[in-house]
Structure 1
Amino acid sequence: MMRGNLIALEPMDIKKHAEGYFNVSQDENIHKYVGNTVPVSIDDIIKLLNSYDEYFVNWMIISNETQDVIGIIRLGKPVIENGLLVAGESQRLHSNYWRKGYMREAKKLFYEYVFNELSVDVLYADVWEGNINSIKSLESSGYKLIETQFDIFSKSGKSTAKYIYSFTKEDYLMRKSSEL
């Protein structure tokens, strides 16, 4: 477990966290720019979280104040590409906690672990056009836009820009040293 002032990142335990994440997933705001939809049952969440386990290392974002699950942060299982250890990052946070420092703190703990403990060299993330909050979150964390792709967004059925971002360990270490 990793703990900050506002939140703790707790390794996902489906039995323990399914109900809490079901409650988070009822927030329609977090589904607007992602491919999934609002789940209708705990069984749907259990299936979803089981599928996450296959592809991601998952941490639940827990409010220190209430001990409630308020989100999830996921690391795509790291792989070697061109001699670098790379992985993807994604997260969801209930909209009641947006713009209040919860995700900033979760990412700070997450990056400390990913870059220093796992020795990941590069993180990647993608975001659909129009998802201004996620774009701002990525850029304020240190991510840099590296590519724009066009793909069919499943919810609209239209060709939409998907922005691909990267955040390197080198950039992380430079940002961290400038904070001192």
Structure 2
Amino acid sequence: MKIITETERLIIREFNLGDVQAVLHFNTPEEVNRFTGDAGLCESLIDAENIITDIWLKEYQAHGFARWAIVLKETNTVIGFCGFKKETRIDGVDIGYRLHPDYWGKGYATEANQACIEYAKKNMDLNHVLGDVVHENTASANVLKKLGMGFQSQYQEMGFEVDRYEIFLKD
């Protein structure tokens, strides 16, 4: 279990197969996937295991990074994911996050992803990071803005207006 970084309240680490139940738990609520295009992709422990094995573990091997687990220090509970993904669809690196609704509105998404950005500046060969958010998802847009990301453009995808934000990590 590789720890990436820590904050006062959170541990950011790589996912492992011990996280199957947690991955199912934070992906199951309908409101979590309302704006992601991922609805229905994680409805069983097998689906969660496949996400860990076929996506995250493979991306750690191929790129050295993928989405990372957000662990609440106080309870040692995996509450969601954060971090980067090499996204062929956008020909770049995307920052993303997903939390179980029980943990919304507490600053965890901002805290976790700010730690990821600081980690990337010091330890990763990343210069440019994108963040896409459905226009009406103002809470997620606010997280991207708090991370220092600036609005770049807007486009249509899957029936949504999507706002693209960006940040440059190197001077």
TM-score, normalized by the shorter chain, greater than 0.5? yes
1:49 corresponds to: 52
| Aligned-residue offset at 1:78 | 8.6
Gaps of 5+ in 2: 60-64
Aligned mates of 1:110, 1:78 — CA distance in 2: 17
Runs of 4+ in 1 over 4 A off after TM superposition: none
Relative to structure 1, the CA distance from residue 78 to residue 130 in structure 2 (aligned partners, 3 Å threshold; closer, same or farther) is: closer
Bigger Rg over Cα: 1
* 2:119 partner SS: helix
What CA distance in whole angstroms lies between the structure 2 residues aligned with 1:37 and 1:161? 18
Percent of paired sites with the same residue? 20
Deviation, structure 1 residue 77: 3.3
Q: Is the 8 A contact 1:78 1:120 kept in 2?
A: no
1-structure distance, mates of 2:137, 2:87: 26
Alignment partner, residue 62 of structure 2: none
Equivalence for 1:20: 22
Q: Is 2:74 the partner of 1:68? A: no
Map of 2:163 onto structure 1: 163
AA in 2 matched with 1:45: A
Equivalent residues in 2 for 1:80-95, closer than 5 Å: 87-95=93-101
Equivalent residue for 1:34? 36
Q: Given the alignment, which residue of 8, 11, 15 partners 2:14?
A: 11
Quickly say closer, same or farther: Cα 1:72–1:10, change in 2 above 3 A.
same
Q: In structure 2, the residue corresponding to 1:48 is in which secondary structure? A: helix
Distance 1:112 1:78, change over 3 A: farther
> What is aligned with 1:82?
none
Q: Contact between 1:89 and 1:125, CA under 8 Å: does it hold in 2? A: yes
Q: Does structure 1 retain, via aligned residues, the 8 Å contact 2:71–2:78?
A: yes
Provide the C-alpha distance between the structure 1 equivalents of 2:44 and 2:84, rounded to a whole number of angstroms: 25
How many equivalent pairs are there? 158
Secondary structure of the equivalent of 2:69?
A: strand
Q: Secondary structure at the match of 2:66?
A: strand
Work out whether residues 122 and 166 of structure 1, in 8 Å CA contact, stay in contact via their aligned partners in 2. yes
Cα gap change, 1:137 to 1:119, in 2 (>3 Å): same
Q: Structure 1, residues 34-92: CA drift from partner, whole Å, max 9, x if none?
A: 1112432100111223342245613100011111110011312399xxxxxx5211110
Cα pair 1:19 1:42 within 8 Å, conserved: yes
Give the RMSD, CA atoms, in angstroms: 2.0
Q: Distance in 1 between matches of 2:127 and 2:87?
A: 10
Counterpart selection for 1:144 from 145, 150, 159 = 150
- TM-score (norm. length: structure 2): 0.83
In structure 1, the gaps of 5 or more residues are 80-85, 174-180
Distance 2:34 2:148 in 1: 24
CA distance in 2, matches of 1:28, 1:132: 17
